[in-house]
Amino acid sequence: MSVHRSGTAGPRRSTGRLPTAATLLAAFAVFLAAFAVPAAAADTPARGSARLGMGVLAHDGQDGTPITSQATQTEGVDVSSHQGNVAWSTLWSSGVKWAYSKATEGTYYTNPYFAQQYNGSYNVGMIRGAYHFATPDTTSGATQANYFVDNGGGWSKDGKTLPGVLDIEWNPYGASCYGKTQSAMVSWISSFLTQYKARTGRDAVIYTATTWWTECTGNYSGFATSNPLWIARYASSVGTLPAGWDFYTMWQYTSSGPTVGDHDVFNGALDRVVALANG
């Protein structure tokens, strides 16, 4: 006699449902998100990598060569760790007679190539100087001036050393004006310049672009009587200068020059470069 067992007759069926397309897409999105890098983080350069004119092409555009004029101008270059060890003899032979090297940034970075750049330019006969990339959102102006002087930004009256430069321009790491109001930015710059002069006896050069200066300082004119202007504009002319300055002392006119990219002219013959070095 056969026995019927309840629940065992016929094939066993699964009670689960196949995942829908929407469920699969959602799971895949979660997987991708786990490995994704935020766009802002990917686009932000590493701290310390900033250099003269880093934001000029992005914000002002253009790149060019100065229109030849009757006024005598003297060719120069500016360098940072971006250029590494520089072929100074090649630049000297091409007519470059002065140079600035990045020494510091904020209070957290010193250029590892500074010695080769600063001493190498001097050794081939150039008149040289050092610059500081300002980060007004990290520490005070006076604190950064001290850091600059302590790490290569000093000055000596040897006829071959130019006064230090405050590179104040677009923030490559965040908001263009470093989160400061126009009046707060002017105060920060003043703090740096005052302390630099107290430490060295020299008025620092200000490197900037007119568009940044207008946006972030309100086109403040109060530094023009004491601090030489190094203007950044990659075009065939300097264009409008920041308020207060009737002329520029130096002009960074391109980021794509020979041997090293950043080329400049001094507004005068070589004896005027020497005059600035001697104060």
- Residue 125 region, left (φ>0) first, then alpha (ψ -120 to 50), else beta? left
| 105, 169, 203, 262: the active-site residue | 169
| 60, 78, 262, 264: the active-site residue | 78
Distance of CA 30 to the CA centre of its chain: 37
Whether 167 is catalytic: yes
Which amino acid is residue 102, in one-letter code? K
Which residues pair with residue 101 across a beta bridge? 79, 130
List the structure tokens of 183.
Answer: 């009046």
Residue 198 and residue 193: Cα distance in Å, rounded? 9
> Which of 183, 200, 72 has its CA nearest to residue 132?
200
Helices and strands, number each (H, E), in the chain: 9, 9
| 167, 203, 262, 264: the active-site residue | 167
Question: Which residues are designated catalytic?
Answer: 78, 167, 169
